[in-house]
Structure formats: C-alpha cells, structure tokens
C-alpha cells in the first residue's frame, strides 16, 4: 500500500493546517508529562495540556496513544499524544521517538494530513518510525480497509540548517523504503514468491535502480558445481536460483560482499518440520529480502563502496527427488558436507554463496539469514544473534543497538568444531546434539569464509517475522530486520573503512 508523503515544515504545530497534530508524552514521577516540541500546542491549551491528558488517563507509557479534540484551540481537529515511555536525563532516545512515531502513524489510518512534533526531538527517527508504522500489506485482501495517513508534515528541528534537515529526511526516507521493500518480499505468499519469481522480481527492482544483475538457473548452477543449492532445491518442482547484484559507488573505498539466505519456503525437507506454524516458513527468505533491499538503498544513497550481493534462492521440499539425511554434497569450491539433517539447509546454500562471494576479494563479508531455531531459544524473537570476526561482529552489534533493531554478539567456541566432524565428508551440517545450535551454525559457515576476510553473520530467525500483533513501528508479518542496522554499518565503513 502507498506510503505517506512526508515533507519538512517550519510552520509551528499550533498553527499548522492539518487533521491531526502529533505530540509526545513521557512518564515521570508526577504522572504524564509533555515531551519537547509540544510547547506551542500546550500554550494553545493555556498550559493545561498535561493536566487534561492526566484527567483522561494518559500515562505516557511506551506505545500509548491518547486522542483529544482540538476544541478550536488549534487549527487541527485532533491532538494525538504518543507515549515515549520513561525518559532518562538526556531526554527521549531515538528508539523511543521511532516507536512513538510508528504508533501514532498506525493510529491515524484513514487520516488525510497530520503534522508531527516528534521530529523536533529526533528528525531521522521520527521519519523512519512514521513510514514504518504506516506500513500495511493488503495486496491479497479484497477489502483493503482504510488507507494509511496520506501526508505527514514533519516540523523541522530548531538546530541545524535547512539543507542538513533535507538530507536527513532523504536518507531516513530511503532507509525506511528499503525496510518496506524487504517487508513486501517477506509477506508475499510462497505460491507467488518461489526461486524463479523471486529472482525475477529482485532483478527488475535492482535494474530500475541502475544496478547490474546476473541470474544463474539450475543448468548454470549444475555447470558451476553449486552442490549446496542443487541439493537443497532437489526436492522441489521449482528449481533453485543464484542472483548476483553489483553496485559500484563513486570513489569506492572498500569492497563489500553481501549474502542473504533465500529459502522461499522451508518444510524441513525429509527431516520435516511440525505442522504448527509451518506457514511462517514463507519468511525463510528474509535474509535475501534484506540484501536485495539494501542494494537498492546503496544506489539511492550513493555509498562510496563497491558492493556485490550473492543471493542463493531455493525451496526446501520433501519430494521424491529430495536430498536425504546421509547424502554427501559437494559445495562450490570442492569442500564436502555430510547431511545429517535436511532442515539445516540454510547453511548449505550459504556455503555455496560464501565461497563464490569471497572469490571477488571483498574487504568485508556480511551475511543475513533466518538460520536457527536455537537463536530464538537463546535470545528470543526480537534480538538477533551476531557471529563472526570479533571486531566486525562487535561493530555491527553496536549499530544494531543504536538503530533499535537489536542484536547481541555471540561466541564461536572451538570445541563445537569437533562436533561437526563427519564419518564420510569434510564436515557434517549439524553437530548431532541440541547444544549451542546457533553457535555451531556460525562455526559451520566460517569454514567457507576465505582466510583473512572479516565477516559478520546475522541470525535473524526470530526478529525477521512478527507473528503477534503490531507494536511501535513494527507491523504484523515481515519486519525488514536488519536492513537499518546494515545500512548504518555500510555508512560506517564508507566513512571509516
């Protein structure tokens, strides 16, 4: 569905012509208090706005939305008070602003025009939160319901120049659009999004952004020796694909390899999954969705980097020709893997992709995958696990925290490598026990990273998909995690190497 149109305004919120004005509220010891940026609206209510909000039960807690009539005090007919939660001594954080903006945008469905003061606290966060909170996926509904808020005027912060604010608006909008693109891919059902159609849609998208793309079909994969992809995809009537996307930025300082897992549906194969929640396995291509969206974002923001994405796509089905536990697959480049569990398929297609990506001689390798259920056991549904080279892993984790997407650096204990030994091949695809599954998967992937290449792996099995109700700026369904984190990491590498 169409995103709201956002534009900067220097008109104060108490004078703006709009259907609704968004202000922020915070929790404090006396109850609800007004957040910075709401002073002019408060003055229009005679300085009593906080007391009015307290009277109707507002608390300022995170994600709370309270609506008040404008009562003729301001041109807007509605005041929307968005809760930021408890504020530390430095005022609301960017993530609090992002979540409050998202909650407000969700509450304004069917509204023609709104103006927000949350942008005076953090412009970038307010823009992202608004665009992501207004996201709805209705392509397959006959009744689309009310449209998202059509237009949001963001009040420009007092500090900074107009040119700086416009640049912030442009960057935040582009990043939010990339997240929305990833969400659209993830939410598309697997009967419409399978390897061939996913590859074609991705190619069309990146070509429109001016990028070059190459698609390897099953014949090219067989000729090239991509045994992981061919093995995983062998049980499906829909053969696998490998998509390669290239971006050449101006005065590129570093070369980045991006790899994203693209299992368009995962039954578990012969090692079949339980029926409960198997429908969510259409999101097993969330890593690939994030990578494709990031390539378009790189072109929009013109990162001074060279970026090559290698995106393996397959459907893991238990057909008569499916690969079996006990099979040995030869990964691209020659290393062999004994398959002990066909539901540990993501690492097999990523192994092919890692080896191919490293042939390009990247300075960094960044991988995104809904890889292990063990990630959710260890960290829950909202916190990604980050593994890889210590420095790059910790750098990425810092950006995950700063963007609000969340991520935690995890170790790769050497003793687990011995548990991946195979009786037949160079290594096995699982350890054969349940302990440290996320960590063992990282150790497996490390086997296919070229020596000397710093890399980081995002295990987003939980954070990629929101099976519950919406909250903050996060809709039900695909989340687009970790597009914003990797965008921040790419910008960091562009600036600092």
Which residues neighbour 361 within 8 Å (Cβ) at sequence distance 6 or greater?
Answer: 255
Buried b vs exposed e over 12-31: b needs ≥16 C-beta within 10 Å? bbbebebbbbbbbbbbeeee
Which residues, in sequence order, are CB contacts of 80 under 8 Å at separation 6+?
20, 21, 22, 23, 65, 66, 67, 104, 107, 108, 114
Q: 180, 261, 347, 356: which is the annotated catalytic residue?
A: 347
Q: What is the DSSP string of 245-282?
A: EEEE-TT---EEEEEE-EEEEE--TTSPPPSTTGGGGG
Are 57 and 49 contacting, i.e. CB atoms less than 8 angstroms apart? no
Name the active-site residue from 201, 222, 255, 273.
273
Q: Please indicate whether residue 255 is annotated as part of the active site.
A: no
Distance (Å, whole) CA 157 – CA 167: 13
**Comparing C-alpha atoms, which of 232, 242, 258 is closest to residue 327?**
232
**d(C-alpha 68, C-alpha 224), whole Å:** 64
Q: Are 229 and 314 in contact (CB under 8 A)?
A: yes
- How far apart are alpha carbons 363 and 13 in whole angstroms? 47
Nearest to residue 73, comparing CAs of 46, 51, 112, 34? 46
Residue corresponding to tokens 């393996």: 312
Q: Are strands 78-86 and 20-28 parallel, antiparallel or unpaired?
A: parallel
Burial (Cβ within 10 Å: 0-12, 13-18, ≥19) of residue 209: middle
Q: Are 23 and 38 in contact (CB under 8 A)?
A: yes
Confirm whether 273 is a catalytic residue. yes
Closest by CA to 19, choosing from 101, 78, 107, is 78
Alpha helices in 15-137 (DSSP H): 39-44, 49-55, 94-107, 123-133
CA distance to 124, 205, 420, per residue, from 302 (Å): 18, 16, 41
**Residues recognised as catalytic:** 273, 347
């Amino acid at each position: 569905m169409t995103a709201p149109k956002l534009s900067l305004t220097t008109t104060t919120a108490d004078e703006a012509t709009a259907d609704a004005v968004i202000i922020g509220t915070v929790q404090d010891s006396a109850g609800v208090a007004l957040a910075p940026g709401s002073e002019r609206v408060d003055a229009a209510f005679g300085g009593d706005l906080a007391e009015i909000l307290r009277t109707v039960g507002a608390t300022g807690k995170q994600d709370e939305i309270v609506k008040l009539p404008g009562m003729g005090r301001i041109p807007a007919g509605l005041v929307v008070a968005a809760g930021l939660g408890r504020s530390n001594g430095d005022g609301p954080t960017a993530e609090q602003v992002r979540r409050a903006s998202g909650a407000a945008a969700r509450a304004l469905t069917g509204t023609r025009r709104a103006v927000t003061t949350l942008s005076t606290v953090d412009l970038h966060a307010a823009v992202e939160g608004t665009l992501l909170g207004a996201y709805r996926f209705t392509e397959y509904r006959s009744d689309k319901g009310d449209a998202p808020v059509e237009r949001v005027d963001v009040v420009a912060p007092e500090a900074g120049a107009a040119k700086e604010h416009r640049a912030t608006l442009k960057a935040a909008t582009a990043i939010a659009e990339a997240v929305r693109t990833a969400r659209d891919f993830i939410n598309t059902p697997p009967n419409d999004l399978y390897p061939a159609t996913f590859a074609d849609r991705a190619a069309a998208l990146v070509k429109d952004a001016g990028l070059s793309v190459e698609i390897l079909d099953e014949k090219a994969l067989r000729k090239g020796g991509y045994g992981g992809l061919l093995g995983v995809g062998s049980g499906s009537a829909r053969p696998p694909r490998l998509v390669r996307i290239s971006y050449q930025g101006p005065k590129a300082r570093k070369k980045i390899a991006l790899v994203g897992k693209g299992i368009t549906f995962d039954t578990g194969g012969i090692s079949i999954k339980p029926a409960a929640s198997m429908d969510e396995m259409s999101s097993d291509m969330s890593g690939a969705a994030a990578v494709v969206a990031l390539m378009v974002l790189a072109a929009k923001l013109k990162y001074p980097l060279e970026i090559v994405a290698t995106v393996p796509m397959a459907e893991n089905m238990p057909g008569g020709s499916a690969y079996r536990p006990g099979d040995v697959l030869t990964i691209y480049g020659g290393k062999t893997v004994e398959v002990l569990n066909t539901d540990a398929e993501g690492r097999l297609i990523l192994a092919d992709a890692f080896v191919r990506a490293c042939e390009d001689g990247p300075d960094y390798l960044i991988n995104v995958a809904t890889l292990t259920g063990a990630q959710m056991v260890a960290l829950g549904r909202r916190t990604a696990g980050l593994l890889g080279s210590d420095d790059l892993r910790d750098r990425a984790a810092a950006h995950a925290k700063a963007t609000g997407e969340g991520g935690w650096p995890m170790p790769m204990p050497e003793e687990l490598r011995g548990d991946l030994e195979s009786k037949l091949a160079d290594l096995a695809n699982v350890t054969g026990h349940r302990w440290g599954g996320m960590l063992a998967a990282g150790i497996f992937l490390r086997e296919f990273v070229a020596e000397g290449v710093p890399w980081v792996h995002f295990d987003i099995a939980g954070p990629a998909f929101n099976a519950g109700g919406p909250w903050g700026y996060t809709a039900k369904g695909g989340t687009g995690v970790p597009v914003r984190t990797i965008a921040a990491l790419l910008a960091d590498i562009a600036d600092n190497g």
